[in-house]
Each structure stands twice: as structure tokens, then as C-alpha cells.
């Protein structure tokens, strides 16, 4: 034993450990395996073993798919985040430093090899201090988002339109109206990249609220070769676009009218890349311009899918007013594409839920291009009648979710955290169970699936149940088959299926006894049997919604 060089043996074993780990990471990333690398990345950071970054770079450059390349970028962000530890500040934050601009442009052009190579070169300048390392991690997550957007944009292949006659100039409004949506099982599985890597399955329903369809848009052709946008909310905002440059903030979600501007580009009414002036484009193709109004009479952060449903209503208006006809399936996929242009991301269940009538299960297979297959559930009319008697929506107040909730969920997915993977599988299996309960007319089982779904949501996004909501749910539990907050939770609307029909008074009485519920309101929910509705109205002077 005296002859053994312990230091040399230890060094050899250390080297062997990291080489084997590198190989395992390379194989798992290349093959899309559900392996969590975080413990290994922690060892790499502790021992200053940075060669793992070069290994992942190589896998990304050789990636056979956008999904593999995006996970590689997410993995590099994980390595960098581990290297910075707690000394670098928050990992979530801006990713807009001009030093990374060239790499981002290359990725936008799908020159992945070149983009990854430029990023690796730039990364060397950001490894000196924890705060710089964490900023580099943010830019890798920004790059990952570019590839996710490109992957989701493949949904545009499933948008088809057929020509139809243009509406008369100035005289006719094309009006699109829709209800909201409630998600009943499987939400989060529709979120990219989960939806095209694992596969998604969601049960949801289109609903009216107190017999009202709160979301809509209307458009008409006008003689002036401009685009006039009217945003109707607590006040009315009018935006006039007379030049192409007036549309350039279409990809800044918080810019006034960004959604409407992106819709004009997504429907290809206007070509942003063209050197032809806006007025000339409009005159040559349509002999004039367009006026577009939009509205959503729901509180911000309602959880009822408002923005995506509104996007669908806008797209339907613009397709129709520009002389094209398309079905709901095309609208659903066009909204996916639109939201990538807008850079808001998001899944597909919101637009499916509100735009397609009734209760349905929708599925996306684990592959690209991203396609959503919608199946309307064969439910008995008598069952829907009983459900309508028991369906209540409760507005609990303004949504308060962690600012970076979606990014945290995506990190958990890409890191293959053991608490996330089985939960995603359970989300989709619960959706299948819920769909069968609807077909069988089993209201109690529908409620059980809804309760299970809420537990699954809380695993995906811890902290999404405010204390006040916990009190309300606890008080209503004996009186309901099932209940959940809408969407990602955090506030907004919750909904429940009561055991007794027509219980709105009783529910109001129970809630009124809870401290802090002075602004909580209870509403009747009804399954919407129409979905997206297109109608025509004669224009009147001073016309408004």
C-alpha cells in the first residue's frame, strides 16, 4: 500500500467520473432521454469542470431536431446557473445584451450550428464573475425560447383557407364572438415544449358567463388605405397605422395594439418584410384599408383563456374580411403561430376551449410539426343540462402568480425533475379519465377528475393557491363534486360543480361568511354550444361595440 500514489488514483477516478458523466449526458441529450443531470452539473461546478459545456455545445450543433437543440441550450443554462450558485442574483431576467444579438439572429434563421458556435465563443467572456455567469444563463434561456418558438411555428402547416367573396367596401362589419373556456383536466400538457415532447391531452369546455359571450372582434374594409385599430376596454384606444413602421412593435406584447398588429401580419394581409409601402400594399390587394375593433369583457388575469380566444376571434375576422374562409381547426393552429410572432408563447388549450363549442378532449402527439387533434365529446343533452344547473364560476380577485412561473415550469421540464415528469404523465391520463366520465354521464367522476387536476396543477406550479382561495375551497368542499382555479391559478376565476342544482344563493351565503371576500362574485356558467360565431352587421355612422 505504501507504493500506491493516492493522489494519482484519486485524480484518475475523478477524471473517469467526469468522462463517464459527459458520455451519459451526450447520449441522453442526443436520444431525448428523460434523465436529470442536475447532480452531475453540480459536481462539474464544484470541481470547475467546464468541459461539459463544450460537450453540450457539440450535441447542440449535431442535433437532429429543434427539440434536442433547445434542451441542449437549456442544459447549458442549468450548468451556468449551478456555476453561479447564489452569487449571481436571479436567474430569470432580461436577455437582450447586444453581444448575443448575432447568435440570436442566426438561431432565428435556423442556422443552429453557427448560432451555437457564436454563443460558445461569446460565453467565454462571461465566466469571470457570478453575476456575469447568471446573465449568460439568461441568454441561453432566451436562445432556447427562440427554438421553442420555431418548433411551435410548425403548427402553421395546418392552417388552410379557401377564397371567398370580399365583403363590400365600408358597408359590412364582420363580427366574431366567443365565450370563455374552463379547463377541466390535462392543462400544462399543452404547453411547449411539453406538448410536442411528451404529448398533450386536455379536456376543456366553452362557457358563457351569466349567459354572456364576453370576447369578440369586428372588422370592416374602409376606403382609406390605412389600418385603424380600436381597443375597447374600460376606455377606447384608437391606433392608426399609415406606414409599415407603425406595425414594427407587433412582437412587443405590452405595446398598444401589438396583438392586432401581429394578426395582420400572421394572416398575410400585410407583408412586413416587403419594401412596398403599406398604403400601396393595401390598395393593390384590397382597394383600401381595414378597421378592426377588439374587446374582452373579463378582468385581466381571469384564467379563462381570454388572450388566446381573443386572438382567435381577431384572426377569424381578418380572414373573413380579407376574402378567405377557414375552419376552427385552422384558427386554433393560426393562434399558435400568432402567439409565437407576438413572442408570448403559450399552449393551445385556451383557443381550443373557447373557440370550439361544447366539451372536448384535444390531443397533440409527441412530435413535430405540432398538430392539435380535437374530439368533441359525445355527451347526452340531459347530462349537459344537469351540469349547467351546477356549474358556477367565482371571481376571487386579481391574479397573483410568480412573475416567472412559466419559465420555472419549463426549467423543471428540461431538467427532468423527478417531481415534474410523472405529474405530466398523470395530467394526460387524468384527461382521458375525465373524457370518459363525460361520455358516461358520470357527474361525480367528472368532479373527482377536476379535484385531481387541481392537485396536479399545484405540483406543476407551487404557490398557485392563495390563502383566500384555500378558505373558499375548504368551505365549499362539502357542497361540490369538484373545484379548481382556472388556468395556472394564483387568483382570477375558480369554478365548481355543485352537488345540488341552482345553488348560487347557497354558495354566495357560504362565501359571505369568509373574511376578505367582500369583492368575490359568483356567476352562472353555461356550456356554450356555439363556440366561435361569425356574423355580419350593417355599418352605421358612429358605430362602436
CB 68 within 8 A of CB 30: yes
Could you tell me where the beta strands, DSSP code E, fall in 345-469? Answer: 359-364, 373-376, 391-395
What is the rounded CA–CA span in Å between residue 342 and residue 233?
A: 20
Whether the predicted pLDDT of 321 surpasses 70: yes
SS (H, E, C) 113-127: HHHHHHHHHHHHHHC
Whether the predicted pLDDT of 544 surpasses 60: no
Averaged pLDDT for residues 338-345: 89
Give the start-to-end residue ranges of the domains of the chain. Answer: 6-154, 157-377+531-538, 382-527
pLDDT tens per residue, range 266-301:
999 999 999 999 999 999 999 999 999 999 999 988
CA angle 339, 31, 337 (to 5 degrees): 10
According to the model, what pLDDT value does residue 235 have? 86
Q: How confident is the model at residue 6 (pLDDT cuts 50, 70, 90)?
A: confident
What is the rounded CA–CA span in Å between residue 250 and residue 254?
A: 9
Fold of 157-377+531-538: Ribosomal Protein S5; domain 2 (3.30.230)
Cβ neighbours for 497, distance < 8 A, ≥ 6 positions apart: 387, 390, 391, 443, 446, 447, 450, 480, 481, 482, 483
Q: What share of the chain in percent tops pLDDT 90?
A: 89
Nearest-10 Cα torsion for 398, 401, 404, 409: -130
According to the model, what pLDDT value does residue 345 have? 80
C-alpha cell belonging to residue 526: 353555461
What is the rounded CA–CA span in Å between residue 101 and residue 98?
A: 5
Q: How far is CA 431 from CA 225, 228, 242, 266, 453, in A?
A: 48, 42, 47, 31, 8
How many of the other CB atoms lie within 10 Å of CB of 186?
30
CA atoms within 13 A on the CB side of 213: 22
Whether the predicted pLDDT of 409 surpasses 80: yes
pLDDT tens per residue, range 108-144:
999 999 999 999 999 999 999 999 999 999 999 999 9
CB 532 within 8 A of CB 331: yes
What is the rounded CA–CA span in Å between residue 205 and residue 450?
A: 13
Averaged pLDDT for residues 311-334: 98
Fold of 382-527: Alpha-Beta Plaits (3.30.70)
According to the model, what pLDDT value does residue 87 have? 79
Whether the predicted pLDDT of 543 surpasses 60: no
Cβ neighbours for 388, distance < 8 A, ≥ 6 positions apart: 525, 526, 527
pTM (2 d.p.): 0.95
According to the model, what pLDDT value does residue 545 have? 42
pLDDT tens per residue, range 229-270:
999 988 899 999 999 999 999 999 999 999 999 999 999 999
CB 229 within 8 A of CB 259: no
Q: How confident is the model at residue 8 (pLDDT cuts 50, 70, 90)?
A: confident
According to the model, what pLDDT value does residue 402 have? 66
Give me the chain's average pLDDT, please: 95
What is the rounded CA–CA span in Å between residue 336 and residue 312?
A: 9
Whether the predicted pLDDT of 487 surpasses 90: yes
Residue 147, burial from CB neighbour count under 10 angstroms (0-12, 13-18, 19+): buried
According to the model, what pLDDT value does residue 2 have? 60
Residue 409 belongs to what H/E stretch?
A: helix 405-414
**For the chain, what is the largest distance between any 2 Cα atoms, rounded to a whole number of angstroms?**
100
pLDDT tens per residue, range 374-407:
999 999 999 999 999 999 999 999 887 766 788 8
Pick 544 or 52 by higher pLDDT: 52
Averaged pLDDT for residues 498-515: 97
Amino acid at each position: 500500500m505504501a507504493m500506491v500514489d493516492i493522489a494519482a488514483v484519486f485524480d484518475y477516478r475523478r477524471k473517469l467520473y467526469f468522462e463517464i458523466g459527459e458520455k451519459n449526458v451526450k447520449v441522453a441529450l442526443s436520444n431525448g432521454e428523460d434523465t436529470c443531470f442536475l447532480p452531475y452539473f453540480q459536481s462539474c461546478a464544484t470541481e470547475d469542470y467546464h468541459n461539459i459545456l463544450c460537450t453540450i455545445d457539440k450535441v447542440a450543433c449535431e442535433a437532429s431536431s429543434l427539440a434536442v437543440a433547445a434542451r441542449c441550450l437549456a442544459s447549458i443554462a442549468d450548468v451556468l446557473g449551478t456555476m453561479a450558485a447564489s452569487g449571481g442574483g436571479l436567474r430569470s431576467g432580461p436577455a437582450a445584451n447586444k453581444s448575443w444579438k448575432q447568435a440570436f439572429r442566426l438561431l432565428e434563421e435556423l442556422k443552429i450550428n453557427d448560432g451555437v458556435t457564436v454563443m460558445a465563443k461569446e460565453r467565454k467572456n462571461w465566466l469571470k464573475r457570478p453575476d456575469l455567469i447568471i446573465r449568460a444563463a439568461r441568454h441561453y434561456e432566451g436562445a432556447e425560447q427562440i427554438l421553442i418558438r420555431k418548433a411551435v411555428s410548425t403548427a402553421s402547416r395546418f392552417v388552410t383557407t379557401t377564397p371567398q367573396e370580399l365583403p363590400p367596401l365600408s358597408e359590412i362589419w364582420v363580427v366574431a364572438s366567443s365565450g370563455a373556456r374552463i379547463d377541466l383536466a390535462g392543462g400544462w400538457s399543452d404547453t411547449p415544449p411539453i406538448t410536442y415532447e411528451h404529448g398533450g391531452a386536455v379536456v376543456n369546455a366553452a362557457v358563457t358567463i351569466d349567459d354572456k359571450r364576453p370576447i369578440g372582434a369586428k372588422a370592416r374594409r374602409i376606403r382609406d388605405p390605412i389600418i385603424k385599430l380600436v381597443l375597447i376596454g374600460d376606455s377606447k384606444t384608437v391606433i392608426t397605422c399609415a406606414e409599415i413602421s407603425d406595425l414594427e412593435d407587433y412582437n412587443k406584447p405590452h405595446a398598444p395594439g401589438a396583438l392586432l398588429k401581429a394578426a395582420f401580419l400572421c394572416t398575410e394581409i400585410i407583408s412586413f418584410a416587403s419594401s412596398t409601402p403599406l398604403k400601396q400594399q393595401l390598395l393593390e390587394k384590397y382597394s383600401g384599408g381595414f378597421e378592426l375593433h377588439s374587446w374582452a369583457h373579463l378582468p385581466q388575469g381571469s384564467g379563462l383563456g381570454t388572450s388566446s380566444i381573443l386572438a382567435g376571434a381577431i384572426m377569424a375576422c381578418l380572414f373573413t374580411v380579407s376574402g378567405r374562409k377557414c375552419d376552427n381547426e385552422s384558427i386554433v393552429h393560426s393562434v399558435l403561430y400568432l402567439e409565437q410572432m407576438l413572442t408570448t408563447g403559450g399552449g393551445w388549450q385556451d383557443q381550443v376551449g373557447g373557440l370550439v363549442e361544447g366539451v372536448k378532449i384535444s390531443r397533440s402527439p409527441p412530435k413535430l410539426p405540432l398538430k392539435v387533434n380535437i374530439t368533441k365529446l359525445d355527451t347526452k343533452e340531459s347530462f349537459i343540462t344537469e351540469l349547467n344547473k351546477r356549474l358556477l364560476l367565482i371571481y376571487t380577485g386579481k391574479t397573483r402568480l410568480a412573475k416567472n412561473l412559466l419559465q420555472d415550469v419549463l426549467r423543471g421540464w428540461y431538467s427532468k425533475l423527478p417531481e415534474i415528469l410523472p405529474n405530466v404523465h398523470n395530467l394526460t391520463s387524468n384527461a382521458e379519465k375525465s373524457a370518459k366520465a363525460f361520455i358516461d354521464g358520470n357527474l361525480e367522476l367528472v368532479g373527482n377528475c377536476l379535484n385531481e387536476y387541481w392537485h396536479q396543477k399545484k405540483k406543476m406550479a407551487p404557490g398557485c393557491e392563495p390563502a383566500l382561495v384555500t378558505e373558499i375551497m375548504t368551505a365549499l368542499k362539502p357542497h361540490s363534486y369538484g373545484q379548481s382555479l382556472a388556468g395556472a391559478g394564483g387568483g382570477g376565476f375558480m369554478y365548481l360543480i355543485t352537488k345540488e342544482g341552482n345553488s348560487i344563493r347557497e354558495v354566495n351565503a357560504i362565501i359571505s361568511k369568509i373574511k376578505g371576500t367582500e369583492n368575490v362574485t359568483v356567476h352562472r356558467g353555461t356550456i356554450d354550444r356555439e363556440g366561435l360565431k361569425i356574423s355580419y352587421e350593417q355599418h352605421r355612422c358612429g358605430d362602436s361595440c
